Structure 1
Amino acid sequence: MLKGLDPRLNAEVLYALRAMGHGDTLIIADSNFPSEAIARQTVFGELLRMDNLTSAQAAEAVLSVLPLDTFVDDFAGRMEIVGNATEIAPVQSEVQMVIDVAEGKSRPMISIERFAFYDLAKQAFAVIQTGERRFYGCFMLRKGVIAPEE
């Protein structure tokens, strides 16, 4: 255990988050996502796991140390529900609440069509697979910057 760090963040996840740069993307995936195959195609090249957590719990832990990009509209995204792009699943509402708390304001995620999400995930820095069993518990987060101290 380390002081000031969410204990849900394991060493491998922390290493990857630290290695990411401004604009790099991270995928938080549910247990049904083809995480292993897609993770091999990412910059990091290995699957990261947070198996015992829901997508919202993983996002909360990640966002305790990862700043979101404030310069772009696609700072965060959710996988669209097939056949209903505007519907927001409960798991997606939970992650949106986590983002809103981390940002200190409401910033809606963008919607990403399912197969476009797979393509985006292959271009990501890394994939974290969670223990989320609900459908559409897959999200993209874009790393921002930490401003210098005054």
Structure 2
Amino acid sequence: MLINIDPLLSPELLHALRAMGHGDEIALVDANFPGTSNAQRLIRLDGVTITDAASAVLSVLPLDEFVDVPVFTMEVVGNPDEVPPAVADLRAIVGDRAACGTLERHAFYARARTCFAIVQTGETRLYANIILKKGVVRS
């Protein structure tokens, strides 16, 4: 056990977050995402919502301040301006810490394949996928 660490941050996830360097990206994805076939490292958080996972990760992960958009969500196929409820919730969690961009579905898959890790949650809401770019940890 550790003090002040969200219990959703499993040992495997904490290791990945700590091993990431500035500019590395991590994808938090829903239960429908093809995680196993796209991940360099797949970390499972079955039974955990995307919003709980994002809140836990962002409690320890700084976002990159040196890029204009360090956060990306997946666009709705055929309606890129639509904001699904899960995406609205993720944007609220990110808040004013960083700008959120969007990526077309296949562009999101391609970018997720380059991420340091993919964290597959048990989220069942559609389009509940987000990529976070790690920033500098300041002392």
User: Which TM-score bucket, shorter chain as reference?
Assistant: over 0.9
Offset at 1:108? 3.6
TM-score (norm 1): 0.89
Superposed CA deviations along residues 44-74 of structure 1, whole A, max 9, x for unmatched, are xx31011121111100000011000011122
Asked whether 1:135 is paired with 2:126, we answer yes
What SS does the corresponding residue of 2:52 show, helix, strand or coil?
helix
Match of 1:22 in 2: 22
Query: Could you list the runs of 5+ residues in structure 1 that have no partner in the other structure?
Result: none
Match of 1:88 in 2: 83
TM-score (norm 2): 0.96
What SS does the corresponding residue of 1:16 show, helix, strand or coil?
helix
Match of 1:126 in 2: 117
Runs of 4+ with >3 A deviation: none
Offset at 1:106? 6.0
Aligned partners of 1:73 and 1:110 also within 8 Å: no
Amino acid at match of 2:34: P
RMSD (Å) for aligned C-alpha atoms: 1.1
Match of 2:54 in 1: 59
Percent pairwise identity? 46
Give the one of 106, 112, 131 matched to 1:115: 106
Measured in 2, the distance between the counterparts of 1:119 and 1:146 equals: 27
Cα distance change on mapping 1:106 and 1:142 into 2, 3 Å: closer
Offset at 1:91? 0.2
Aligned partners of 2:28 and 2:129 also within 8 Å: yes
Measured in 1, the distance between the counterparts of 2:97 and 2:132 equals: 15
Measured in 2, the distance between the counterparts of 1:72 and 1:129 equals: 25
Match of 1:7 in 2: 7
Offset at 1:82? 0.4
Aligned partners of 1:30 and 1:132 also within 8 Å: yes
